[in-house]
A and B are shown apart, each in its own frame.
Chain A
């Protein structure tokens, strides 16, 4: 009986120790933080931990202070030693950060890495906020932020539901080999268009795919949306409107080609309610912009 008690105690103890280990590896309120992923960076700043950030990836361009920090390169092409040179206590990484080899090398060097949730939706924003709050030991602030965003999202959704007709919108991500890469189903852009009272004019494929000129014309989008970096690469607004596959679309005929910040639009970070409201007011002239409480400004 005594032996059994002892064994049970040992088992409980070892489980407790094992559970405690990962948490103890990551210091709460780390002094030096590297953040991989623009959405996570925005949340870290929104939770007031911006001063602790010593490095970010190239997708972190908001707030402007974050964009001014050292960058460790693109989130899927990290260099382990590059990240180590910033001497981080904790690396907060988005779900698609990589390559895996670099993450493994970082772990081998004793760096704590927390990988965020992968869910490009308004619910995903809340999950990411909870994740960052836990990792930084700022749960209360994270709860408050999440509640504000949830409330704002509710306001925006209610306003969008007042709209009658969904607007047919096409999202252009970039140009590849001369062809436009358009957002099909299952993309962040598709989700944002739907949330904002639009309907993706491009259907029939998943992900971002090159769009043939004929399909682009047949899709007849009423609005064309391009992220700012792609618009720049395409040669500006006028160059987009002049493209042969777009020139005959209703969007160009009625002069409704919109350019929006890519990270704001597709990041699914804390600015998502604001992004949905902005897009909805661009898609629908009669959209009544609700008063948002948690509007995040560059501070």
Chain B
């Protein structure tokens, strides 16, 4: 805890970190729109954007499609997916008081994967009996994200239910972590089984889905993911004081008037919402959920009022820079984004750790 005199200074410092992160995220988003394998002039982009806003038909169909159908949704999706991952990582690490907690631990990622892989492998088989109604045709392209989102929610709910102890004393964090490990193992087995029965093309599809990709989402899916993740962000921001109190221990938090059970359930639900939506649309993207909050904590200290938004911004920056990297490194081909999140985030994280370990301090 900061002393009474140090507090205002710390606040100024953390405020400036957030401002810096906002600038970095915005700059990376702008670069993401400006740069790509196709070189578009500023004039082309302004024209395309102007035509789109005024509702005029595009004069340059290629430039317009690249800007409006490929780059803009992609950059938006990258920012919110990264933010959602780091945000839930931050909340989960706070509740579990465990620096290694990440969204994978409570089953969100595994659940989403089970949903997605089920649709990839058994989709045609399961749906062949259904009639092709109008609603069904409309939903068909979104079947995979819907299943992934439902899978994420259901598996998280299952793990939280399992961790409730019988005596009505609520959730045990230790049981929750162990139940998470077991359910993740079961989910992996289900995925393994589905992988085994898949044919050649399905096998390739599910391999590529599991690598994550921001490029495959249209506006509808992107905006839905945006809405879900913003909702989760607002939810977690309301829990920042409770998360701070959790750091001195669950019992102490309870005595300070925090409804600890409710906070735990909310964090679980909000994580499932944010990570489930992101994974549903972009596939699993590793590392950001774990490292985003650590970066925020290393920079700005322990206060959740600061590190929740800062984590989200770090996650967004990490996702945007990784996506920019994979788009530009070997055009016209594109390696999976998971490679870059670790390649960029890993050394940056290590550098921060080393600086702190040498006692230099970060700020």
Task: List 29 contacting pairs A-B, 8 Å CB cutoff, sorted by A.
Answer: A58-B333, A71-B332, A71-B333, A73-B332, A76-B208, A77-B213, A79-B37, A80-B215, A81-B327, A82-B332, A84-B62, A85-B36, A86-B332, A98-B205, A100-B141, A101-B215, A101-B218, A102-B215, A105-B65, A105-B69, A105-B70, A108-B65, A109-B62, A109-B65, A109-B70, A110-B62, A208-B200, A208-B203, A210-B196
CA distance A58 to B65 in the complex (A): 26
Q: Which of B187-233 contact A (CB under 8 A)?
A: 196, 198-201, 203-205, 208, 213, 215-218
* Contact between chains at A79 and B332 (CB < 8 Å): yes
* Contact between chains at A81 and B218 (CB < 8 Å): no
CA distance A108 to B218 in the complex (A): 11
Chain A residues whose C-beta falls within 8 Å of the C-beta of B199 in the assembled complex? 206-207
Chain A residues whose C-beta falls within 8 Å of the C-beta of B158 in the assembled complex? none
> Does B38 lie at the interface of the complex (its beta carbon under 8 Å from any beta carbon of A)?
yes
* Contact between chains at B334 and A73 (CB < 8 Å): yes
> Does A72 lie at the interface of the complex (its beta carbon under 8 Å from any beta carbon of B)?
yes
Q: Which of A83-113 contact B (CB under 8 A)?
A: 83-86, 96, 98-102, 104-105, 108-111
* Contact between chains at B218 and A82 (CB < 8 Å): no
Q: Which of B307-360 contact A (CB under 8 A)?
A: 327, 331-334, 336
CA distance A109 to B58 in the complex (A): 11
Chain B interface residues (CB < 8 Å from chain A)? 36-39, 61-62, 65-66, 69-71, 141, 196, 198-201, 203-205, 208, 213, 215-218, 327, 331-334, 336
Q: Which of A26-66 contact B (CB under 8 A)?
A: 55, 58
A-B interface pairs (CB < 8 A), number: 94
CA distance A77 to B216 in the complex (A): 10
Closest chain B CB from A294 CB (angstroms): 28
A102-B215, A209-B196 given; name 11 further pairs at CB < 8 Å: A72-B333, A79-B37, A80-B215, A81-B37, A81-B66, A84-B38, A85-B39, A99-B213, A102-B216, A105-B69, A207-B199
CA distance A82 to B204 in the complex (A): 20
Q: Which of A82, A96, A100, A109 contacts B37 (CB 8 A)?
A: A82
* Contact between chains at B333 and A81 (CB < 8 Å): no
Chain B residues whose C-beta falls within 8 Å of the C-beta of A109 in the assembled complex? 61-62, 65-66, 69-70
Closest chain A CB from B69 CB (angstroms): 5
* Contact between chains at A85 and B61 (CB < 8 Å): no
Q: Which residue of A lies closest to B192 (CB)?
A: A177
Closest chain A CB from B39 CB (angstroms): 8
* Contact between chains at A84 and B196 (CB < 8 Å): no
With A71-B333, A73-B332 given, is the CB distance from A84 to B201 under 8 Å?
no
Q: Which residue of B lies closest to A77 (CB)?
A: B208
Closest chain B CB from A174 CB (angstroms): 11
Chain B residues whose C-beta falls within 8 Å of the C-beta of A85 in the assembled complex? 36-39, 331-332
* Contact between chains at B61 and A110 (CB < 8 Å): yes
* Contact between chains at B65 and A110 (CB < 8 Å): yes
Chain A residues whose C-beta falls within 8 Å of the C-beta of B218 in the assembled complex? 101, 104
CA distance A58 to B66 in the complex (A): 24
> Does A187 lie at the interface of the complex (its beta carbon under 8 Å from any beta carbon of B)?
yes
Chain A residues whose C-beta falls within 8 Å of the C-beta of B66 in the assembled complex? 81, 84, 109
Closest chain A CB from B48 CB (angstroms): 11
CA distance A207 to B197 in the complex (A): 9
* Contact between chains at B70 and A80 (CB < 8 Å): yes
> Which of B61, B66, B216: most chain A CB closer than 10 A?
B216
CA distance A105 to B66 in the complex (A): 8
> Does A255 lie at the interface of the complex (its beta carbon under 8 Å from any beta carbon of B)?
no
With A55-B332, A206-B199 given, is the CB distance from A79 to B62 under 8 Å?
no
Chain A residues whose C-beta falls within 8 Å of the C-beta of B336 in the assembled complex? 77
* Contact between chains at A96 and B201 (CB < 8 Å): yes
> Does A70 lie at the interface of the complex (its beta carbon under 8 Å from any beta carbon of B)?
yes
